[in-house]
Each structure stands twice: as structure tokens, then as C-alpha cells.
Structure 1
Amino acid sequence: MGEDEVAEPWIAVEPIARVATGGGSGLSVGQSPDPPTFRESQFDIILRRQRTRPPDGGGLKHTLRSSSRFLNLSSDFEFAGWGSFSNLKLTSEDHSIGEDRLQRIRRAKLLGQLTGTGLPGNAVLGSVFYALPAVVAVCGVYSPISLFMATLTPFLWRPIMNELASALPISGAPYSYILNVSRKSLALLGAALLLLDFASTSVVSASTASSYLAGEVVLPFPTFVGAGMVLIVFALVSLTGLKESARIAFVVLTFHVATMTALGVASSVHWAQTGNAQLKRNWIDGQAPSPTAVARQLFNGFCLGMLGLTGIECTPSYIGRMKSGSFPLVLRNLHLPAILLNTLMITFVLATVPLETILGGANVLSLLAEASAGPWLRKWIVVDAAVVLCGGVLTGILSACELFQQLSNDRIVPQLFLKVLPLSGSPYISVLTFTVLNLMLYASAGASLSIVSKMFSLVWLTVMGLFPLALLLLRFNRGRIPRAKNTPLSVIVLALALTPVVFAGNIAIDPSTAGYFAAYLIGVLLVFVATQNQVTLLRGVYWVYDQYPVLHRWAVSETWGKALVRIMAKLKRQPVCILVKTDEVNHLLHMLLYVRENEETSCVKIVHFIDEENGIPSELEANAKILDEAFPEITVDLIVVLGTFSPANVVALAHCLKIPPSLMFMSCPGPSFPHPVAEFGTRIISL
């Protein structure tokens, strides 16, 4: 057979000529100047060399007939296999599982504004115990002004967080937000920052609780040992299966608010009785030498004053369990008390306690309590600090376990993190991993609460900076998605611009904290990138092994190489699902490119739901075959499911295909979309 004959399968076979039917000026067969339409071509052009596929489904695509980049692997390793077309009817078992999951999601929305406030409220309002000493250390007598300005900044973030929550009412923010509006690599950065935020919360809470106890009683061990014991004890508690309860959290928050109210009333009465003598003395002793120094201290206090708001970034993590309309009220309930608590408490401290005592690192709130009402209130404050701060440790552990579960479902960390203890149901791998991270973080900082607190402020600021970034990406990449409010663009830009300014201010206060922040962020991020790109790393390892032919002569080495190939093949066969409504090839191509760039898989299932009234889009099958032809390294299967596109049917399909909903991708819903996005559990990957 000659060269010309080989190329013949590429040419359309007997295209159907067009015949005009109107106007009396018809064109005879073969005389039409226009090319045939898609429908008229009867797939002859689209199918091309697919007609030459072996009947048994084997064979390689033409583009893979060249040699592989590996010396000892054939092109079969690169070829994922031909795709298929099938019709699927979900079973009654699939439908039952889908309905059950949907009902569980709806029943889980039990948190109102009060119980929803209790979950993150202990972290936000409990931060007063470690925020005040950090701010006074750099700002002195100007601390009330700096703290007041710092606690006003959530007025910028609240509308941003409200709009994001109304568009994507799903847990795990800001990681889940970025995952749905941008590339997975950027979402990995958000996940790394969140994990560091949870770790910093636990470490700072444990260290502060140990410091408060050491300031009141003589401990038989150093303070850092006490902090480590708190971390280990609450890790063991979490292994028993204890789950965070909104009602218990609200009771603890109520106790803390009552304690702070009692302290505020006692301090006000004491201030009224003693007058402003101590406040004037502190003001004179703490005066800065120049206006420039005053401005510098105010700015430093403003930067570290953000510690008084830590915990507010955790609020969207619980939005999946909140009733409709509760989220804005929860943010309000957290923000307004934080303004009063931080500003008033530091003012009471300066009006009651000598400045040298405050700067000496003592438990300033317990000193304020004893000076205002006596030893009984001081003991009450210490108990309150221990309860609230230890609750913060447990909150950090449980939040980290939730994050690990989401990362495992998204195949970023191994499925090992989903394993639980048989009796308690606790994810022990997640708990132990997070506890080790906490201890490493605390030990590498020299067991210094000051360093960890300052690094905590950097982590928190970066996490908060992800919210305006996510909203900008949502508006640009997913602008069709319905949402309740539109935040002015100027507010988004201002919040985004404020983040690096305050970040730089914290670094200027103590440059060493930037090193700790960068080291841990890079370390955690590298781990996530490695686990996300397992196949790529294994391919690199095999390529190095393949460059030394002598290794293939050893039986042990050859066995190891074959095992490596089997592992890569197994990882590549993990399927993902693309849910499509249209048959437009550009839309299908865009979604498939997203999968190739963000997921390590060679198996993609394109799924289209149809009902009895609507048939299959005319070009869907042909375009799926085009994509199957265009991506030799990916098997593109087309599945047509009888049924409507609804949350229950999508979950039923996930059960049938054994693909988690988090690995089922869809395009952005429009304003007329009838179902809540959160009920699907899928990922939005295109406009």
C-alpha cells in the first residue's frame, strides 16, 4: 500500500451533497458550493480514523506510534485506552442513597445565630487573653487606640465574607472557595495556610493557658512542658471520639461573656472610686519621645491588634450547618463584642495596673480582676482563661481533622487520613499528624509564646487576604453564580491592599517571625504538592531508574521497577466525572483541560442527564469521540443517565460509579438554577 493510500482513512467517506429546497433555484447533486453541515455529514468527517479501531477495542492512537520517553516502557503505558459510550439507569438502591444524603444535608442545618456564634466565638472572644499582652508590649499606652482601629477592620471583610457565603454556602472556606473559582494549585496554598492557622490557634491557646496557670500557682514543670501536655491531652481526648457540640460551645461562650461582663463591671466601679490617677501616671510614663514614635507605636499596635480578631476566619467553616440567613448575624455577633471587649479591657488595665507591671509580662487580666474586686475574681478569670483557651485547642484539632477529610476526598492527601478508630470513630491519623505538627511548631519557635503569637498574626492575615482574592476570582471566573449581595469593588480592593500593609508591619516588628512563617508554609505546601502530584513524582523516579540499564539486569531492581509501574497505573486509573449540559466542543474541551491540569487521572467520565422529553444533544457523542481522540493519555467515556439533573440523582450517580461527589465537576450555575449548590457537593470548574 502506498503513502497516498495510507492517508485515505482520514478523508470523509462519501459526504452527502446539499440540495436547495426553496426559491426555484435548486442546485443539483454535487453542485453545492457550500460544505456539508454537521448533521448532513453523518459523522463521516468527525469519525475519521476511528473507523480503523480494532473491533475488540484495542490499538493505539496514531500520535502514540512514536517511541516513549522511557527506554523500557512501550507506548502502551502512555495510552489510556479508547473511551466508550453507554446508557445508564440508576437503581433503586442508588436513588435511596442519594435521597438519604440529601436529607442528611438538610437536617444538618440546625445552627441559628446563637448556636452558630458559639462555635467560633470562643476563639474570637477568647483571644483577648493573648492579644492584649502582645499589643501592649509594642504600643504601650496607645494600645486602646490601636486595638479599636484594628477591631474596626472586619467592617471591610464582613460584606466580602457574606457575598462569598451566599454564592458558595459550603464548608472549608477559604480553601473550598478558591477550589471552586480558580486552579487547584492556588487552593493548595489556601489549605496550607488554613492548616497553619489551626496549628497556631492550638499552640497559642495551649501556651497561653499554661502561662496563666503558671502565673497563679507553682507548677512542678516549666511552662512549655505544660503547653505540650495540654496539646497531648486534648489530642487524646479527641481520639475518644468527642465531637464539638454547638450547644456546649455556646455554654462555654456564655460563661466567658459572663466572666468578662463581671470583670468589666468591677473594673468600672473601681475606676470610678479611684479616679484617673493611675491612668495619668501610666500616660506620662509611657509617652513616646516624638510624633513619629507615636505614629510608629500606633501602627505596630494596629498590626498586632489583629490578634484580637483571630477565629473569625473559622466562621465559614461551619456555614454548611447554619440555617439560611444566619451567617451575617453570626459575623455581627462576633465582631461587635470583639470591638467592645478588646478596647474596654485594655483601657481598664491601663487605668488600674501600673505600666511597668503590664510590660513585665504578667497576666494582666487577672491582675485587673484582683485590683478591682479581690482574689475571688482573679481565680474566676484564671478558670475562665483555662476553659476558653483549652476549648480553642480542641477547636483547632477538630477543624484540622475536617480539613484533612476534605483534602483526602479531593485526593490531595492519602486516603489514609479517612481511616477512623473502630470504637470512637475518630480519624486517628489526622489527629496524630496534627498533634505532631503542633509540637514541632512550638519546639522550633523555642517554646516562645511571643514568637508563635506574632507568626500567628502573619498566618491569620494571609488567610484573611484570601477572602477578597477569592471574591475577585469568583466575580471574574464564576460571575454567573447567584449570590445575595454585591460588595463594592472598592471595598474588595481596599481589604486586599490592607493585607500586605499590615503583613509588612508585623514583619517589621520582629523580622524573625517571617522566617518561621515562610519555613512552615513552604514545608506544608511542599507536602501537599507532593501528595497531589504523586504520579508525576513517580514518573520522575522511574525515569531516573530507566536511565541506568544496569539496574534492569538485577532481579530485585527489575521487580521494584515493575511495582513502580503498577502503582503509577493504579493511581492514574482513579476516575473523575464531568457533568455536562451542552454538547459544545469548546465547553467540553475547556472542562477536560481543567481536569488534565488539576487532577492526576487518565479516566474521565462525561455524564449527561436526560429525561423522557429531551433527547441526547446531537453532537455530544461525536464531540466526546473527538476529545477521546485528542487526549491519548486520557480515556474519555460518555455516559447518558436517564433522569433529571438534581442533587439526589448526582449523589446516586456518585454511588453507582464509585466516585465521590467532590470529584464530580460541573459548570457554573446561573441565576435561574433551581437547586442550592451546596447540596450537590460537586466542584464548579467553568463559567
Structure 2
Amino acid sequence: MATRRPSILPSYPLDDMGTDTVRDTDSWIAIEPVARSTNAATVSADPPSFRESQFDIILRRQRARPRDGGGLKHALTTSSRFLNLSSDFEFAGWGSFSTLKLTSEDHAIGEDRLQDLRRARMLGEFTGAALPGNAVLGSVFYALPAVVTVCGVYSPISLFAATLTPFLWRPIMEELASALPISGAPYSYILNVSRKSLALLGAALLLLDFASTSVVSAATVASYLGGEVALPFPEFAGAALVLLVFALVSLTGLKESARIAFGLLVFHVATMVALALAACVHWGRAGNSQLRANWAAGQAPTSAGVARQLFNGFCLGMLGLTGIECAPSYIGRIKPGRFPRVLRNLHLPAIVLNTLMVTLVLATVPLETVLRGANVLSVLAEMAAGRWLRTWIVVDAAVVLCGGVLTGILSACELFTQLAHDRIVPQAFLRILPLSGAPYVSVFAFTAINAVLYTSAGASLAIVSKMFSLMWLTVMSLFPLALLLLRFNRGRMPRQGNTPLSAIVLALALTPVVFAGNVAIDPSTGGYFAAYLIGVLGVFAVTQNKVGVLRGVYWAYDQYPGLHCWAWGAALVRVMARLKRQPVCILVKTDEINHLLHMLLYVRENEETSCVKIVHFCDAEAGIPSELEANAKILDEAFPEITIDLIVVHGAFAPPQVVALAHRLQIPPALMFMSCPGPQFAHPIAEFGTRIISL
């Protein structure tokens, strides 16, 4: 393969007619800033000749140009914005054309990595549901008291209506999962169907949602225990201890963590069944007197008041479903065809558990007792069967809410892995422990985020819970949005299911209504939501636009000559050049120049790179498209800031070959882009690991 040219060019002299004098050379680069002065010495040799680039087709077109009106591709024609750096800094060098034949070693590596990917999908319908199930079914400990506080005796109606809403979301999530069964959703969904900037918004919301899941679960554990016994330490210390312990548990790896989560969930379900049976027996013995008393005491004076309480209860009742959004985050680990069952196993128990428990509470516990304390289920347990059952409920609350902490950590690790593959966060997030395969950098980073979130909220469970409800609602709105974008931008993509458009629009319209309802209950909620979201988005904006930030820093440095004594400029230029030399790959099937142009425009707008490799897989029968080389050369001239290499690979376009090529070129599959496959596409999209960037 041809060697790519360096990303930085020096200034070079002009001939008598004012055009660039270009001489043949094999090596040239200017790292030091070039002073804009007529007496400045040339700091290095000139760029390669036009003949060396072999742009024969472009040459025929350029011969007709006037000598002073056109010319060779050499650099940007506009003046540099930097005082001491030539405009040639923007020139990435000439591209090249080469053919490549993958070796048997490449094919073996491709097959091995593909088998590893397939073996990673080891979660079934129950173990896959266990991870988010602890968050979904454990939310009864904090969602039920919140709903009763604003809804009173109408809570069963509101909670039942709220838990029915996933019937809108389930077909949407299933259709998305069948089209793109890759982890990190809904961030990964939006990344494949829209712009990267919108996907980063989804990533920021997801990260905050996962952090809120862990922090709220840990803080609720400490609060629940603090309401039952005298803790030897403050509640915030207990929450911090829970976060730390389960961060260490997550280092055992996803498979072992899923088994632990499944054990916790089984214990919780058994506890809830025992509580429901005991409460039903007590209700049968005591009769309906307490229920009638609560109904009389909690009646709203007007029909408008009833409607208001029902709506507020419906809005807060959504907290009873928090955790269901975590399931698609690691769908790449769930066995094929099991995801719809995972959603079913999460949803149906949530309907029964939330509605049944709030009904039993109102039928057994005086309303003033319910409104006075948060540990309503433990109060119900003591009234139904005695102190022993109350102790059991407290233990269960601690156990299942700790499972919610684990859910947030593992979901965040999957998201960090996707972000690292897409070069949004450092590659260190891909490091794993040799024995368990756990991404320890992601675990520790997420634990630090949890600590910052909890500390900045003043260790207040109320504040974090306020943000949690809005984060969850916003994340849920990303699923119908992603499906709309998929149908519009990637309509050819093969998938199962056909969710009615009216259901998608209804789900998308429902979230802002519930969002506004939660803000109306407590307007300060919107402030916390905005503050945390802006903070995370700011970090992602910097990590996604590293070169742009460094250019701004260099420009500021360039304006003050007094700073040049520290020689920071050369170091900044080297860092910018190194970051932009990280290559990406475009997998193309045809030679249509408009298609190639649109893919290049996507790369220029969404990726920080000056090196693009256009790859075409060619079998012996089809041959190379006739205009592919010519069009690649034209585009290489049209984008002086990008080196465009054309590589023709001998072989069929299939997952093993693409993975082998990724290894050969040392480009992650996540940075290999392709157009949308059609309904007759023979291979699973998830096995390629590539990003879809065009229709």
C-alpha cells in the first residue's frame, strides 16, 4: 500500500509568474510555525510533484485552464488565519490508489474476532431482563410513595395508566433492535440514522440517566435503612459505600454480574409475592373499613381537583418504569431473537407489582401514615404479618436497590465502550481486566461521575430524584425519534415489525406532556435537569472537537508574541497533526460521484480526520467500477484538507473480510462507514460493526 503524506506543509517559493514551484521529493514536513516574512528561510523541501500523484484524468481537465486561473492542488487558496503558520498547514497531501489482497492470517484474525462477537451474545430472556429488572421492579420502593403524595387515593388508577404506556414503546424498541442490534442504544441508533451531534445529545442524556439510576438507588438504600434502624454513619456515607461496593462487584464482568443481578431479582420477586399474600389475607380478615376511610379522607373537593391529582400521579407514576431504557444499552450481549421477551419480562411484572402494591397499601394502611413516611411497604408488611416481615422487606429493599446500582454501572460501561470506539472518549476506556474482561477504566470513571453528581446535589436524594424523572422521560423520547429518523433516512434497512406511525407520533408527543407535568409539580426540577445536561454536553463537545479547540488555543497563542518564548506553538501543531492523521474508512459499492461526495461530506462534518480511505471489495466477476479511480482523484483534488486513498480489496464483501480489513488497516470497525443495506442484504448488520451513514 502507498504511504500517506504528512498532514502539514511548509511554505515554498513562487516563480516569476506567481505560481507555486513544485519539485519532486519524497519527504517533507514543517512542524515549526512558518513566519510570514519575505526574508524567512525555507524550513523544508517542497511537496511532491503533480506527476508523482498520477492525476492523469484531472491533468487533462486542468490543461484547458488559464495559467493564472487554476492550477495544481497544493494548499488552500485563502490566507491563513494564523500569523505564524502557513495556509499550507491545511493541506493533507495527495491520495493514492492501491490494490490489496488479504492474507490467510488476516482472514484467521477476522474469523476469530467474529466468533468472539458471537460468543459475547450470551444473555437469555431472563438474565437479560435481570439487569434492568432490578431497577424496574425495585422502583416500587421510591415511586409508590411519590405517587401517593400527589395523587392520594387515586394512585392505583394513575399508576396503572402509567405502567400501560410501555405498550406504546415496546414495538418501537423491538423494531429498532431488529434493525440495529448493537449496544449503546439509543445513542448508537441515532448515530447510525442521523448526525453525530444529535447522537452526542443522546449519549449525554443516557449517561446522566444511568448515573441517576445508580445514585438514586444507592441513596434510597441508605434512606430506607436510615428510616428503620439507627445507622452508625450518615446516610450519604451509606450511599457512597453502596456505590463503591457495587463498582467492585461490576469488575467481575458482565456475565457474572448478570447472574448476580438475576439472583437479586429472584429474591425480590419472592419477597413481593410473600408480601402480597400476607396483605391480601390481612385485608380479607379486616374487611374494607380502612379502604372506605381512606377514600373518604382523600377525596378531592372538585372534579378539576380529581383530574389534577390523576394527571400528577400519572406523571410521577412513570418512575415505576425507570430502568426499562437500560435494556437496549447492552442488546449486543443478548441472544438473537430474545429482546422482545426481555421487554415482556420487564413490563408485565411492573404492571402487576405497582398496581397491586399501591392498592394493598390504601386498603390496609391509614392514609395519614402513608403520606407521612417513605417506607410504606415496610409499614404494610408489619401490619399484615408482624415485625419479621417488615425486617424481610427492609432487607429486600436494600438488595434490589443495590441491583439497580449495578444496572446503572453496567449500562454505562456499554455506553463508554461505544463512545471509545467512536473516538469520543479516550481509548483507555477500552481497557479490560485479563480475567473477567470487565472495562475497569469505565467502571472507575462512572463511579467518579456518580460521586460528582451526588456531591454537587448536596447529597440530597430529593434533588437527584427530581433530575432522574426528567432524564428518564427525555431518554424515552429518543426511541420514537430514532425510529422516525430511521424510516426517513434509512428506510431500506432490513428490520422486523412495522410500528404504526400514529403510535410513534403518540409516544413522541406523550413525553413532553409528562415532562411538563413533572416540571409543573416542582419547577426547580427543570433547573437541575438543564444544569447537569449542559455540563455533560460541554465535556462531550470538547472531546468530539479536540482539533477545533486546539486550533482556537493556537490562534490565541499566535496573537501574543510574548507567549512564543515557551515554544508551545510547535507542540500544538504536532498534536493537531497527530489527531487529524487518525484514518477512517468508507466502504463503497459503486463509483457514483454524488454518492462518494455525500459520504465524504459526512466524514468532514462529523469526524476529525485528514485521512480517508475509500475501500471497494472486488470479486473476479464484477471487476472494478469504471469511474471509481477517476472520481476518487477528483474528490482528492476537491478536498485539499483530506488525503483520499483508494483501496481495492480482492474478495467478497462479508463480515469476516471487513473485520480482517479493519485489522490490516488498523482502523476500528466503528470508524468504517457504509451505506444502508437493502432488504435482500445477506449478512447481519451487527456483525460488521460499521456505521451506516447514507441511504
TM norm. shorter chain > 0.5: yes
Is 1:385 aligned with 2:385? Answer: no
Q: What is aligned with 2:629? A: 621
Is 1:276 aligned with 2:288? Answer: yes
**Letter aligned with residue 98 of structure 1:** G
Q: What is aligned with 1:12? A: none
Q: Is the 8 A contact 1:215 1:363 kept in 2?
A: yes
Offset at residue 140 of structure 1 (A)? 1.3
Matches within 5 A, 1:104-503: 104-239=116-251, 244-420=256-432, 426-503=438-515
SS at match of 1:64: coil
Count of residue pairs brought into register by the alignment: 643
Q: What is aligned with 1:576? A: 584
Q: Is the 8 A contact 1:538 1:568 kept in 2?
A: yes
Q: Deviations over 1:267-302 (max 9, x none)?
A: 111111101111111112212222111111111110
**Letter aligned with residue 602 of structure 1:** S
Hey, what's the Cα distance between the residues in 2 that align with 1:97 and 1:596? 31
Hey, what's the Cα distance between the residues in 2 that align with 1:466 and 1:662? 21
Q: What is aligned with 1:29? A: none
Q: 1:654 aligns with which of 653, 662, 686?
A: 662
Q: Is the 8 A contact 2:57 2:630 kept in 1?
A: no
Q: What is aligned with 1:18? A: none
Hey, what's the Cα distance between the residues in 1 that align with 2:393 and 2:227? 12
Offset at residue 378 of structure 1 (A)? 1.3
Offset at residue 262 of structure 1 (A)? 1.0
Q: Is the 8 A contact 2:279 2:384 kept in 1?
A: yes
Distance of aligned partners of 1:377 and 1:67 in 2 relative to their CA distance in 1, 3 Å threshold: same
Q: Is the 8 A contact 1:244 1:395 kept in 2?
A: no
Hey, what's the Cα distance between the residues in 2 that align with 1:328 and 1:381? 31
Q: What is aligned with 2:34? A: none
Offset at residue 586 of structure 1 (A)? 0.3
SS at match of 1:608: strand
Q: What is aligned with 1:681? A: 689
Q: Select between 630-639 and 64-73 the one with higher mean Cα deviation.
A: 64-73
Hey, what's the Cα distance between the residues in 1 that align with 2:15 and 2:287? 107
- How high is the sequence identity, in percent, across the aligned residues? 81
Structure 1: which 5+ runs fail to align? 8-41, 53-58
Hey, what's the Cα distance between the residues in 1 that align with 2:78 and 2:516? 53
Structure 2: which 5+ runs fail to align? 1-13, 21-53, 65-70
Distance of aligned partners of 1:436 and 1:322 in 2 relative to their CA distance in 1, 3 Å threshold: closer
Q: Is the 8 A contact 1:163 1:485 kept in 2?
A: yes
Distance of aligned partners of 1:512 and 1:60 in 2 relative to their CA distance in 1, 3 Å threshold: farther
Q: Is the 8 A contact 2:329 2:414 kept in 1?
A: no
**Letter aligned with residue 432 of structure 1:** F
Offset at residue 423 of structure 1 (A)? 7.0
Matches within 5 A, 1:657-668: 657-668=665-676
Q: What is aligned with 2:614? A: 606
Q: What is aligned with 1:88? A: 100
Distance of aligned partners of 1:323 and 1:281 in 2 relative to their CA distance in 1, 3 Å threshold: same
SS at match of 1:131: helix
Hey, what's the Cα distance between the residues in 2 that align with 1:600 and 1:242? 32
Hey, what's the Cα distance between the residues in 1 that align with 2:268 and 2:217? 15
Offset at residue 402 of structure 1 (A)? 1.9
SS at match of 2:126: helix
Q: Is the 8 A contact 1:60 1:76 kept in 2?
A: no
Q: What is aligned with 2:602? A: 594
Q: Is the 8 A contact 1:168 1:177 kept in 2?
A: yes
Hey, what's the Cα distance between the residues in 2 that align with 1:420 and 1:322? 20
Q: Is the 8 A contact 1:240 1:424 kept in 2?
A: yes
Q: What is aligned with 1:639? A: 647
Is 1:540 aligned with 2:548? Answer: no
Offset at residue 512 of structure 1 (A)? 0.9
Distance of aligned partners of 1:573 and 1:493 in 2 relative to their CA distance in 1, 3 Å threshold: same
Q: Is the 8 A contact 1:244 1:398 kept in 2?
A: no
Q: 1:566 aligns with which of 574, 580, 584?
A: 574
Distance of aligned partners of 1:272 and 1:671 in 2 relative to their CA distance in 1, 3 Å threshold: same
Hey, what's the Cα distance between the residues in 1 that align with 2:200 and 2:139? 27
Hey, what's the Cα distance between the residues in 2 that align with 1:104 and 1:592? 31
SS at match of 2:585: strand
**Letter aligned with residue 408 of structure 1:** A
Hey, what's the Cα distance between the residues in 2 that align with 1:669 and 1:499? 32
TM-score (norm 2): 0.89
**Letter aligned with residue 89 of structure 1:** K
Q: Is the 8 A contact 2:219 2:461 kept in 1?
A: yes
SS at match of 1:614: coil
Q: What is aligned with 1:30? A: none
Q: Deviations over 1:4-31 (max 9, x none)?
A: 9999xxxxxxxxxxxxxxxxxxxxxxxx
Offset at residue 63 of structure 1 (A)? 5.5
Q: Is the 8 A contact 2:184 2:328 kept in 1?
A: yes
Q: Is the 8 A contact 1:163 1:486 kept in 2?
A: yes
SS at match of 2:622: coil
**Letter aligned with residue 255 of structure 1:** F
Offset at residue 440 of structure 1 (A)? 2.2
